[in-house]
Amino acid sequence: MVRTTLIGSALGLVFILSGCGAAANVTNNQVSSATISTPSNNQTTGDNSTPCPPADVPVWATSVKADGPVLTSPPTGTGPAATAWAFFADVNAGRYEDALATLSGTLRDGMTSAPQFLHNYKHVDFIRMADITKEAPTENEVSGAYDYRVYYLEVNQKLNHLVDCSQTALRDGLTRYAVYVVQEKKDGPWHTVLQEFAPPLSSP
């Protein structure tokens, strides 16, 4: 399967195409991948004259079901759901170093080595969120963790346009993320290790 992820590569590019890990938890309706289109925006290409076109990106299903309630207000606290949102909450407050601290693994390494991708976020409005752990693929980033969760996170985002659109599939507007958070050991803190595009949330 091919995925589009928020990880740093050796070239410092975020949102690169890569092969994904084993998908042991994929349900029957998610065997085949799908493609979603992110909206165009005023971010420009390298010549600073042409607006970025919509970006067609692969996702692992045509839709995904929530396992439990759908949150319509941001979660708080230190649990896994709050951790999945914490990165964006810190960005909204201008606390970019705190936002970085919510991450772990290659995701944090990529944002550290190429900080323009971290600072490319300007503001992210929360729309809704749901646990999709049972339906999301089991990615390599959660291997060896004591526990993990995957959250569907739907937002309306505004970017600072610090990154050329040839290097990112991120655009202004409605965006659906699958956010993977892990707990490395029992009673330990939660961290986000993977952010990738998610298919739309299906109706109950």
- Per-residue pLDDT of 137-169, as tens digits, reads 999 999 999 999 999 999 999 999 999 988 999
The pTM score is 0.82
In a domain, 203, yes or no: no
In a domain, 204, yes or no: no
Cα–Cα distance between 61 and 5 in angstroms, integer? Answer: 15
In a domain, 202, yes or no: no
List the domain range (segments joined by +) for residue 163: 2-197
- Per-residue pLDDT of 112-121, as tens digits, reads 999 999 999 9
Please indicate whether residue 21 or residue 192 has the higher confidence score (pLDDT): 192
Exposure letters 117-140 (e unless 16+ CB within 10 A, then b): bbbbbeebebeebbbbbebbbbbe
Sign of the C-alpha dihedral computed for residues 104, 183, 139 and 131 taken in this order: negative
Cα–Cα distance between 152 and 87 in angstroms, integer? Answer: 14
The two three-digit tokens of residue 50, written as one number: 């042409």
Q: Output the furthest CA–CA distance in the chain (Å, rounded).
A: 52
- Per-residue pLDDT of 38-80, as tens digits, reads 767 666 544 444 678 888 888 999 999 999 999 999 999 999 9
In a domain, 154, yes or no: yes
In a domain, 146, yes or no: yes
Q: Look at residue 149 in the predicted model and tell me its pLDDT.
A: 98
Q: Look at residue 165 in the predicted model and tell me its pLDDT.
A: 87
- The radius of gyration of the chain's CA atoms, rounded to the nearest angstrom, is 16
Asked if residues 126 and 159 have their Cβ atoms less than 8 Å apart, the reply is no
Q: How many of the other CB atoms lie within 10 Å of CB of 19?
A: 8
Q: Quote the distance between the C-alpha of residue 186 and its chain's center.
A: 25
Listed in sequence order, the residues at least 6 apart from 116 whose beta carbon sits closer than 8 Å to its beta carbon are: 162, 163
> How many domains are there within the chain?
1
